Amino acid sequence: MEREIRQLASKLRELRHLLPREFFDLTFTEPGEPEIGETEIVSLTPQLAPPKGLRFSYLDSSTRFFRLQGLDVAVITLHMGGGRTVQVPIHGGKFIYLRSRLEVLKGLEPLSFVQVKDRLGKYYTQEYKADNIGDEGRVTLENSALQQCRDVTLLDGPLLVTAVFGGHYGQVMDALNQERLTVIKGREVVGVVKRLEYSHWLYRALRDKFTGKVNDVTVLDLLHTKYGGEVFGPFLLRHRVDRYAYYFRVETVKGPSYFRVESLDRELLERVAPELRRRLTANGIPYEIELADRISKRLSASAYLILFQHLRDMELHYDTRLGVDQALRDLEP
């Protein structure tokens, strides 16, 4: 990893005279769910079978933006464990995505670990939306890792990515989702979705209870008050392809934890849900997901700090220096 970053730093210094004398906008849009789509109740209070000791693979990716004057560097790393271990960048792969002036991008394009344009061939010039750069890099790495999975695999995040923007950006996300569906076909993959405050699936199955759009956390609190318990479902989520989902609301010392697990295969989901219920951490998250999240963040933190070491003499954005502090915290034991 350090060798590649050293190469990048050396090449950047050669091209320094081409860098625009400005910092690019890096405004991100909050994640969400598709505005279209329907949810059906298959069951509200499931009778889960006893856990059978399944073996899991698990994976997560992590993105950090390193901002320089005239250049944004998206550092994207991945950890897959449990069966075959795959780590990006340790085991190869493009882990540096760049946004800058076209001449700069073309000058850096020959570096094997660098990506400077999307899968439809459009360069990541300064007006390209940063949301899509991070999403494309993350999903691309995940799709590559999923092809190597043989066990039941827990993916930190939804099976399909939601396009934040339309037009060209939506077409890129459509291509990524089609690749994802091809990869997981015939494989046992379960998505574990946290941050349900940005998810709005459940109210669609209970429209008689709500007068407007309500997030899944609010609905889960209502279901918990009415029925008790920690697990609800399965629900059928209809958009693009049908997915089945169980929702978890788990009490912890810090307050309730919320997440859903989703799969194209209902039978697989019914085998996995009781296992995850048994393997929750003190934070109310499946152990394997918490582990994958921690390791992938440590990988991206390490890459970020190495970037800072080699590029600290260049014009860095204030956010980059704050990012160094966060990276150091993420590397604490």
pLDDT of 259 over the 90 cut: yes
Task: Flag whether pLDDT at 32 surpasses 70.
Answer: no
pLDDT at site 29: 74
Q: Closest Cα to residue 231, out of 100, 45, 93, 59?
A: 45
Q: What is the mean pLDDT of residues 104-123?
A: 98
Cis geometry, peptide bond prior to residue 234 (ω within 30 degrees of 0): yes
Confidence label for 106 from pLDDT (cuts 50, 70 and 90) = very high
pLDDT in the model for residue 34 = 61
In this predicted model, what pLDDT tens digit does every residue of 167-215 receive, in sequence order? Answer: 999 999 999 999 999 999 999 999 999 999 999 999 999 888 887 889 9
> Is 46 buried (19+), middle (13-18) or exposed (0-12) by CB count in 10 A?
middle
Q: Output the pLDDT for position 75.
A: 98
The per-residue pLDDT for 31 is 65
Tokens in use for 232?
A: 């609800």
Give the residue extent of every domain in the chain. 1-27+61-150+296-333
How far apart, in whole angstroms, are the C-alpha atoms of residue 82 and residue 276? 15
pLDDT greater than 80 at residue 51: no
Nearest to 86 by CA among 58, 54, 55: 58
β-strand pairing of 241-252 with 96-100? unpaired
Q: From CA 160, how far away is CA 193, in angstroms rounded?
A: 11
86 token code pair: 């795959």
Distance between first and last Cα of the chain: 21
Contact 84, 148 (CB under 8 A): yes
The predicted-structure confidence for 129-169, as pLDDT tens digits, reads as follows 998 999 999 999 999 999 999 899 999 999 998 877 789 99
Portion of the chain with pLDDT greater than 90, in percent: 82
Tokens of 202: 């459940």
Mean pLDDT of the chain: 93
Give dist(CA 294, CA 280) in Å, integer.
15
Distance CA 18, CA 233 (A): 55
Angle, helix 130-146 to helix 167-184, in steps of 10 degrees: 10
**Of residues 95, 167, 177, the one with CA closest to residue 134:** 95
CB 149 within 8 A of CB 184: no
Give the mean model confidence (pLDDT) for residues 268-274: 95
CA 200 to chain centre: 18
pLDDT digits (tens, 9 = 90+) for 59-69: 999 999 999 99
Going by C-alpha positions, the residue among 146, 117, 137 that lies closest to residue 58 is 146
| Kind and range of the H or E run holding 134 | helix 130-146
19 CB contacts (<8 Å, ≥6 apart)? 12, 68, 69, 70, 71, 100, 101, 104
- The per-residue pLDDT for 36 is 63
Whole-prediction pTM value? Answer: 0.93
Pair type for strands 71-81 and 56-68: antiparallel
In the three-class reduction of DSSP (H, G, I as helix; E, B as strand; rest coil), residue 76 is classed as strand
Give the confidence band of 35 by pLDDT, cuts at 50, 70, 90.
Answer: low
